Structure 1
Amino acid sequence: MQDSYGNEITVASQSALDHYDLGVRSFLAADYGAVEAFQAAVEHDDSFALGHAGLARALMMSGQMPLAKAAIERAQTLAAKLDIRQCQHVECFVLLFAGQPQKARALVKSHVRDYPRDALAAQLCSNVFGLIGFSGEVGREAELLAYTSALLPHYGEDWWMMSMHALSLCETGQIDASMQLMDKSLALNDRNANGAHFKSHAQYEAGDAAAGRRYLSDWLADYDDRGVLHGHLSWHAALWALHDGDAAGVWAAIDAGVGPQAAKGLPINVLTDTAAILYRAELAGLSVAPERWSGLSDYAAKFFPETGQSFADMHAALAHAMAGNGDRLAYIGDTAKGFAGDLVQPVARAWGAIARQDWQAALEELVLVMSSTERLGGSRAQRDLLELTYANVLLKLGLTEEARRSLTTRRPVLAAAPPIVGLGAQP
């Protein structure tokens, strides 16, 4: 038999394969229901190795790690007697679950050269949150573009790969090309949450706040709040409201889908999105209740007690600093490790200096990281947290023109109307 991407696959029944294909489509679209589809596939055929691997990946993305680990162990046992494509497919996920991202990344990149349409394996290196995006290396955006560029010709009129490549274009500054390809992808599948997400990024990079806000508001109305991207898309909605000067809209989006009390997504998204929008709200002049910061600091301490995931650590440090939890902040600064731990340390110290309004000390720490923020992970829109923080620190030191110059040269999309109190457009 063959899966929906034309890969030969060892499975005992058409029914199991149909559920597997549904699981793949749901997962690639970041739609709710992938776990249930893969679960149905292995219920129809318990010896279905790739079905168990798909289930493991879907469980992982829904935060059910004990079940996910059991599923990948089952897949590994079953895959031993399969052909090389299926064995390597499973091994990619085995390495991911084993906490060996560099080996997993190398294997995925090698695997897709021989089996480019093995979409569920290829997905591991796509997106800014994939194995390339979280590599901690300079040039990761160019590497991601090269990766999706090589895969795109093998997929034809495929909505998923189009959306992946469109994001790569967006993150390397090719906004018009990104938008055109994203619209083509969404025309084929308008309920692709990844596509809606990446279109929001393209609209953000184009500075098209009004259109972005309208589009995302309409799209979210029919998106299951259990979908993996619901919380993050709510962050985009809050960000649009902030740039639109709608304070009520900011808090409504945060309380409905972003913050720890509302979001149903992965802890890394809950932490990073909430910390970022709260501080960006403060920069824009909104008053953030202290209990929001203290609650987020407790959330970070619960889900990320140890350092190692640099993107999460950077935001956890922000939450601890704003909440006044110096011991937690100091622990991150002292122990930060992972793909960009060397950058997390000065960022953590900068957050501490900002919390006590020591702007000169904050500047001295931030200049250590501003030349290589891409190593910390996340999209350009997410890393604007640091761009705006840096500009605000300059402003606080009386270096207003330097603050404007920083945004104009580094993030011109923000320079026309900087969302920072006291830093209006240059006359």
Structure 2
Amino acid sequence: MSFTDSLGNPVTVGDATSLPAIDAFVEGFISCEARAVDALAAAGDASPMVQAYCATLHLFAESGDARANAGPFLERALEGAARATPREQRYIEAIAAWSAGDIARAVALHQEQAREHPRDLASLKLGQYHCFNTGDCPGMLRLALAALPAAADVPYLHGMAAFGYEQCHLLREAEASARRAITLRRKEPWAHHALGHVMLTEGRLNEGLAVMRALSDTWVGLNSFMVTHNWWHVALFLIDLGRADEALAIYDREVWGVVKDYSQDQIGAVSLLARFELAGIPVGDRWQDVANHLARRLADHVLPFLDLQYLYGLARAGRDEADLLLRNIEAFAPAAPPSTRAAWQRVCVPAAHGLLAHARGDFAAAIDGLGQALPQLARIGGSHAQRDLFEQVYLDALVRLGTAASLAEAQGILQQQLNGQPESLRLRRQAAAVYARLGLPAFN
């Protein structure tokens, strides 16, 4: 008797009792819902894809012990692969490549899967995750477009396409895809997220805030990253609109404290606290609680994008562990897997020096380190909105150094940003201060 998952992909299982675990992962993963982890309840099931999905969930912890925790499940998946379908074998091989640090190989396998089995949307979303983390935005979009002819009925695929379009700066297409997804299913948080990106990029701040808040009643039952990250976007709109108290309340209520041990919740907290301070909003003692969790991340080195924010959070909290993390990054970078080694060496190391220098008031060194990293920053992953943190820190260092040359560079950056976001009170205040120091009138 043959079985299929909820998207119609044939699966190799002993009997129908394995299907709920498979569908929990597939449906939960592509919808960003917490029920994806229900697959772990079936960890004793010998079905190769149940084991592969359990390994996937452990690797998504993005922690130093994630690979070891995933290992037993991956081994059992590999042992059972001989009796699996070619689609399942390819997915298992992609997870093995991910675990081994061969991200280029993993992406190639997910791309092949999208062409051969376009309704394997769990594979597609995982491929997008790897492309995102290595700055391959066209790769994200290519994966989604390969599946659209066969899976246009699935709202979550339109959300995946929307984010791929947005990261490629194709904003009209991104908005159309996001709205298509929401038309098919109002509770499509990844499409909400893509729409928030579009409106932030286009400076539609009041509209973006209204749209995200209007959809927020559906942000229930999600994984902690998705719910905290969408609220993170709400907070960004509030900061730029000068509504500091509301933004701080969002941080306290919706961003920090959902799953404090999770990497993505931690970097969301770090980047939002940093943005508060860069916008002149005091954060009180909030750094300390976050730093207590960051101090456990000193040897993780899962993604350079994560390590940089762990480092900055520790430094802003005045923790000595920031120095140890910097040394660990420097030691790890030359030994990083070949697929990501250049990002660690050429981007992460100088950026880490720049961030630590900024946190400690050495603005010349901050400019030097971040200035080396910024032209290649996309290589460490993260979205445009997330990487904007490093650009804001660099800009702040230029202003605070206060030389004629640094203020002139700051003026050029700020005015271009303000041209794109005329609703931003934050940028307007910052630009006015720079113009005053340059002996020029403020321009709107």
Q: TM-score, normalised by structure 1?
A: 0.87
1:263 aligns with 2:265: no
User: Could you tell me how far apart the structure 1 residues matched to 2:258 and 2:20 are?
Assistant: 31
Distance 1:91 1:412, change over 3 A: farther
Offset at 1:383? 0.7
**Unmatched 5+ stretches in structure 1:** none
State which drifts further: 209-218 or 68-77: 68-77
| 266 and 331 in structure 1: CA distance in 2 versus 1, 3 angstrom threshold | closer
Pairing partner for 1:377 from 367, 377, 381: 381
Q: How large is the RMSD of aligned CA atoms in angstroms?
A: 2.8
Corresponding residue number in structure 1 for 2:367: 363
Decide whether aligned partners of structure 1 residues 251 and 150 sit closer, same or farther in structure 2, where only a CA change above 3 A counts.
same
Does 1:198 find its partner at 2:205?
Answer: no
2: CA distance, partners of 1:329 / 1:258: 27
Paired residues of 1:30 and 1:227 also in contact (CA < 8 A): yes
Amino acid at match of 1:72: L
The answer to whether the Cα contact below 8 Å between 1:26 and 1:33 also exists between their aligned partners in 2 is yes
Give secondary structure in 1 for the equivalent of 2:7: coil
Letter in 2 for 1:341: W
How many angstroms does 1:224 deviate by? 3.1
Hey, what does 2:55 align to over in structure 1? 56
**1:184 corresponds to 2:180:** yes
CA separation in 2, counterparts of 1:409 and 1:213?
22
Q: Tell me the equivalent position of 2:443.
A: 426
Counterpart CA distance in 2 for 1:191 and 1:41 is 27
CA distances 1:173-200 after superposition (whole Å, capped 9, x unpaired): 1112211111111111222222222222
Hey, what's the Cα distance between the residues in 2 that align with 1:402 and 1:177?
33
- Native 8 Å contact 2:241 2:423 kept in 1: no
CA contact (8 A) 1:387 1:407 kept: no
1:207 to 197, 203, 210: 203
May I ask how many residue pairs the two structures share in their alignment? 415
The change in CA–CA distance for 1:6 and 1:411 in structure 2 (over 3 A counts) is farther
Matched to 2:364, the amino acid is Q
The residue correspondences of 1:25-424 to structure 2 (distance < 5 A) are 25-36=27-38, 38=39, 46-58=45-57, 60-61=59-60, 65=66, 68-126=70-128, 130-135=129-134, 140-224=136-220, 227-228=223-224, 229-259=226-256, 262-264=257-259, 267-289=262-284, 291-326=285-320, 328-329=322-323, 331-332=325-326, 334-335=330-331, 337=333, 338=336, 339=340, 340-342=343-345, 343-396=347-400, 397-398=402-403, 399-409=406-416, 413-414=420-421, 417=424, 419=426, 422-424=430-432
Supply the AA of the counterpart residue of 2:412. R
Aligned partners of 1:17 and 1:41 also within 8 Å: no
Unpaired runs of at least 5, structure 2: 433-441
Deviation, 1:382, is: 0.3
1:205: Cα distance to partner?
1.5
Q: Which moved more, 1:372-381 or 1:92-101?
A: 92-101
Q: Does structure 2 conserve the Cα–Cα contact (< 8 Å) formed by 1:313 and 1:336?
A: no
Report the residue type matching 2:152 in the other structure. G
Check the 8 A contact 2:242/2:426 in 1, yes or no.
no
Could you tell me whether the CA contact under 8 Å between 2:295 and 2:321 is conserved in 1? Answer: no
Show CA shifts across 1:281-339 (max 9, x none): 111110122x3223333322213434352011111121122122355235415335243
The percent identity for this pair of structures is 23
CA contact (8 A) 1:61 1:266 kept: no
The answer to whether the Cα contact below 8 Å between 2:228 and 2:255 also exists between their aligned partners in 1 is yes
Contact kept in structure 2, 1:178 and 1:202, CA below 8 Å: yes
> For residues 365-411 of structure 1, what are the alpha-carbon distances to aligned partners after superposition, in whole Å with 9 as ceiling and x for unaligned?
22211211111210000011122222222222254443232245578
Alpha carbons of structure 1 residues 304 and 199: separation in structure 2 relative to 1, 3 Å: farther
**1:328-373: CA deviation from partner (whole Å, max 9, x where unpaired):** 2354153352432221222222223223333222222222112111
> Which residue does the alignment assign to 2:437?
none
Amino acid at match of 1:235: W
Q: Could you tell me how far apart the structure 2 residues matched to 1:423 and 1:415 are?
A: 11
2:305·2:382 contact (CA, 8 Å) conserved in 1?
A: yes
Q: Which amino acid letter does the alignment assign opposite residue 388 of structure 2?
A: D
Go from structure 1 to structure 2 and tell me whether the alpha carbon gap of 1:326 and 1:67 turns closer, same or farther (over 3 Å shift): closer
CA shift for structure 1 position 59: 5.0
> Cα–Cα, structure 1 residues 356 and 284, in superposed 2: closer, same or farther, change >3 Å?
same
> How far apart, CA to CA, are the structure 2 residues paired with 1:41 and 1:267?
23
In structure 2, what is the Cα distance between the partners aligned to 1:42 and 1:352? 42
Please identify which structure carries the higher helix content. Answer: 2
Whether the 8 Å contact between 1:185 and 1:195 is mirrored in structure 2 is yes
Residues 1:176 and 1:146: Cα distance change in structure 2 (over 3 Å):
same
For 1:341 and 1:389, the matched residues in 2 are separated by 19
Structure 1 residues 190-224: Cα deviation after superposition (integer angstroms, max 9, x where no partner): 22222222222122122222222233234333433
In 2, the alpha carbon distance for the partners of 1:59 and 1:308 equals 13
Q: Cα 1:217–1:18, aligned 2, differ >3 Å: closer, same or farther? A: same
> TM-score normalised to the size of structure 2?
0.83
* Further displaced range: 210-219 or 267-276: 210-219
Q: Which moved more, 1:411-420 or 1:192-201?
A: 411-420
